[in-house]
Chain A
């Protein structure tokens, strides 16, 4: 699908993008007329602040598209208890301050029913105190696209509900597998912010359980592009002679690091966590390279949703069907002309990120459905806690409770095969020591 950023908001964060889930014939309904206030008679508004512009725009875009595929179908079938589900989108460019401003706007000005599908740790970490400030309004953040701890622990854990596994679980899984292969010297390449630190802490904790410490570490600045050189970072890690590197970053920088690591002879497994945006990373690394397969042979990515290739799972089949049926276009805005140039983005037919957006939408729809004909914010928490053994169709049942604010626990591991990431079945065969 070829589509430009023409339909994607990339204006300053304060500028809102109104888009909504709506019937397929008009998928981008501008909500400026009716999105305000608590549930209207005919719609429920979910507030979204995410990266729709900048180097991480692929994440916000794919997450949105996956959610849209599901909401389109829900709305086409009459909505939830007669109400359509719509999203009020604001762009934060994956930057903390705009995310804070957006969150305040969504709560105060837009009075959204709940917050949904936020993208990123540095953004969410800063938005959480806003939720605490407005705690009397009982605004909850649902299913942020981050596995960091701040929204899972006191003092802000009570304001958020997570669906995906945490970075702690992802990094622990990666470390355990590397250590099992004898690769005990694990280094970390990370984005030097709350997200990177969260993953770094996960690696450190997991290594400590094996009696090891981080073998070496290198950092990069948030927003670094694929064109940047990572020679300095690669050389820092090379000097520590690691057996494997775990990257905690976004796709542009992590692709640049993996490229330079390969080019500079650091031939060891390079792992990424789910936030990286696997398809975006792979597309960057393969672009224009005749040796793309060998160039990406050391990559291994952890995921928090099953492979979108695994059509034995009902949710994955549904995802394929709805993504194909609606093929959700990029978010649009009235100011489309102002953002069209310089930021082209070509979405993926399927991706782990859009699948995550899809299952997030599926579960939030179920929670709203359980709230009955007159959903109120005061009833949100009880409705979530009532989800105790729900089959989302991903092979793992979802369970929430007062002491369990994360629905899924499973972590999956994937490796590149051509232009896709496929499940990794045999660690020893792929990454065993010679």
Chain B
């Protein structure tokens, strides 16, 4: 076996010691990324949904406050014009206004009011999830007009858009975490290699000490001059080897 091949084999033996360490690093980073992603998905989704509801409630209240005089003046064209302006906001998919008796006074549905909406409680103001065939999934909130005696405004916010927003926000976070994960793994490999290199050299040194005869012995100045634990161990090994060599020499002399 050549000298270089022996060196490679010994380095390989040392790196085996760090394989578990590298795997440990990777597993740790992956666990961190996974747990942060799950936390992020749930918290971002919840926060965006809450924000959606708050926004739609404020829009519904805004329309309700603006509608009082218009409704009392029976000016439904102006009322329609009012909700048409609000429905231009990206996340709002529909708005409808019902009278106190449940009659639909203005709405933005095309080609018609969905049956589910027609059948719903027109006085409800609590947020409710709706799935309308052909239209999609929505969160609907309501706001009473003049405490409900003049009617109720209902605003439907697009859940699909909310999902897209959530995906985008979470995706950005996961993207960042993945970059950190890859960087961390690469860094850990580099660090392990950095730490394993002198250990491999030390191992090689020890093996040679054990095998080599005095006349074959080569200098290992690079190890012996180190001021860290590797250097200490090398010097100790050298000392032990030198001691054994001296003992061997005395024993040989006596025998003569």
Verify A197–B77 contact, CB threshold 8 A: yes
Contact partner, A219, options B73, B74, B76, B109, Cβ 8 Å? B109
Query: Does any Cβ of B come within 8 Å of A200's Cβ?
Result: yes
Interface residue from A125, A196, A217, A236 paired with B78 (Cβ < 8 Å): A125
Contact partners of A148 in chain B: CB under 8 A = 77
Chain A 199-233 interface 0/1 with B at a Cβ cutoff of 8 Å (1 = within): 01100000000000000011111000000001011
Are A219 and B84 in contact (CB-based, < 8 A)? no
CB of B81 within 8 A of chain A? yes
Residues of the B chain whose Cβ atoms lie less than 8 Å from the Cβ of A153: 73, 75
Q: How far is the CA of A149 from the CA of B109 in the complex (A)?
A: 22
Number of interface residues of A (CB under 8 A): 28
**B108 within 8 A of partner (CB):** yes
Q: Once the chains are docked, how many angstroms separate the CA of A229 from the CA of B19?
A: 67
Q: Is A193 an interface residue (CB 8 A)?
A: yes
- Bound CA–CA A230/B110 (angstroms): 11
The complex places the Cα of A201 from the Cα of B80 at a distance, in Å, of: 11
B63 at the A interface (CB under 8 A): no
Q: Are A154 and B84 in contact (CB under 8 A)?
A: no
Interface size class of B (residues with CB under 8 A): 10 to 19
CA distance A218 to B109 in the complex (A): 9
A122 interface residue (CB < 8 Å to B): yes
| B111, CB-defined interface residue at 8 Å | yes
Known: A122-B84, A194-B84. Contact between A149 and B110, CB under 8 A?
A: no
Given contacts A125-B77, A148-B77, A197-B79, contact A236 B112 (CB under 8 A): yes
B139 at the interface (CB under 8 A from A): no
Contacting pair A192 B77 (CB below 8 A): no
Identify which of residues 41-90 in chain B touch chain A, using a CB-to-CB cut-off of 8 Å. 73-81, 84
Which residues between 88 and 144 of chain B lie within 8 Å of chain A, taking CB atoms? 106-113
Name the CB-closest residue of A to B108. A192
The A178-203 residues at the B interface (CB cut-off 8 A) are 192-198, 200-201
Q: Please, which residues of chain B bring their CB within 8 A of the CB of A192? A: 80, 107-110
Residues of B within 8 A of A221 (CB): 110
Q: Is the CB of A194 within 8 A of B81?
A: yes
Please tell me which one of the listed residues B75, B80, B111 contacts residue A233 in the complex, with CB atoms under 8 A apart. Answer: B111
A221-B112 Cα distance, complex, nearest whole Å:
11
Q: Are A219 and B75 in contact (CB under 8 A)?
A: no
How close is A223's CB to chain B, nearest CB, in angstroms?
12
Q: Kindly supply a per-residue 1/0 record for chain A positions 126-160, scoring 1 wherever the CB is within 8 Å of any chain B CB and 0 otherwise.
A: 10000000000000000000001110011000000
B110 touches A126 (CB 8 A): no
Q: Bound state CA distance, A385 and B130, in angstroms?
A: 54
Give the residue of A193, A198, A201, A230 whose beta carbon is less than 8 angstroms from that of B84. Answer: A193
Q: Report 29 cross-chain contacts, Cβ distance below 8 Å, ordered by A residue.
A: A96-B81, A121-B77, A149-B77, A153-B73, A154-B73, A192-B80, A192-B107, A192-B109, A192-B110, A193-B80, A193-B84, A194-B77, A194-B80, A194-B81, A194-B84, A195-B77, A196-B80, A197-B76, A197-B79, A200-B76, A218-B112, A219-B109, A219-B110, A219-B111, A230-B111, A233-B111, A233-B112, A236-B111, A236-B112
The 6 A-B residue pairs whose C-beta atoms are closest, nearest first, are: A197-B80, A198-B77, A194-B81, A194-B77, A201-B76, A232-B111
